[in-house]
Structure 1
Amino acid sequence: MSKQSAVLTLTDLNASEPCCSPIAQQRIQAETAAMLAPAFKALGDPVRLRLLSMIASASEGEICVCDLAPAFDLSGPTISHHLKTLREAGLVDAERRGTWVYYRARRGLMRQLAALLAVEESTNV
């Protein structure tokens, strides 16, 4: 019987604190990987990465789609598609107010993603 390494478990994607050790320290369970993969996949597109950056860095904690669209040389439906992908991946929340939709970053999930990718400096380089 071979030794098995400890595995990461995911408890709450919205937790304010990381749930587990970075993947550089422990293996990640298949279930956890399946839960996080859509978020990483969504961030694999440069437009969506820029959109999330704009949303997360909005000074009031949220931003109107009317302020996002002009930053891109893309059609409205294309921007909407990218925002939908971010919503479905759990990275942003949206709220309709009249004609406009306002977006907020889901910081709990962002913290989980960042914590999982954290790498400690090693003296054994």
Structure 2
Amino acid sequence: MGNRESEDLSRFADMLSAMGTEPRLRIMRLLLSAHPEGMVAGEIGAALEIAGSTLSHHLERLRNEGLVTVRREGTFLWYSANAVALQDLLRFLYAECCTRSGACEPRKILA
């Protein structure tokens, strides 16, 4: 395995790990529904009934893995799903799990 391939594998494993909890997966789903504008932390917490300190921890983990981007507007921090990173992850999974091994049929994935 080449160095670049190993780095990609590690990066994608970290991304999957970051989304590997139910609250973080719910956060990602909510942010994708608000794409591309995103949401402020208070809206995310209220919608998902997650306490502020807990939400901050989850958002930080998702941001550290590049799954979420943050922008400041005045005193507000807006969180958005990083669609490019998610596309890269899905492309990797598709190539490794479906194309290379033939384990998945492409038409069944999108059905």
Q: Which has the larger radius of gyration?
A: 1
Structure 2: unaligned runs, 5 residues or longer: 99-103, 107-111
Alignment counterpart, residue 71 of structure 1, candidates 47, 52, 60: 47
Query: Following superposition of structure 1 onto structure 2, how do residues 2-17 of structure 1 map, counting pairs within 5 Å?
Result: none
* Runs of 4+ more than 4 Å apart: 7-10
- CA 1:84/1:99 → structure 2, altered by over 3 Å: closer, same or farther? same
Q: Which residue of structure 1 aligns with residue 101 of structure 2?
A: none
Report 1 or 2 for greater relative contact order, CA contacts < 8 Å, sequence distance ≥ 6: 1
Matched, 1:56 2:32: yes
Report the TM-score, using the length of structure 2 for normalisation. Answer: 0.75
Structure 1: unaligned runs, 5 residues or longer: 1-6, 11-28
Q: Which residue of structure 2 aligns with residue 103 of structure 1?
A: 79
The offset of 1:72, in angstroms, is 2.8
Q: Distance in 1 between matches of 2:65 and 2:53?
A: 18
Q: Please say if residues 66 and 100 of structure 1, whose CA atoms lie closer than 8 Å, have aligned partners that are also in contact.
A: no
What number of residue pairs does the alignment pair up?
98
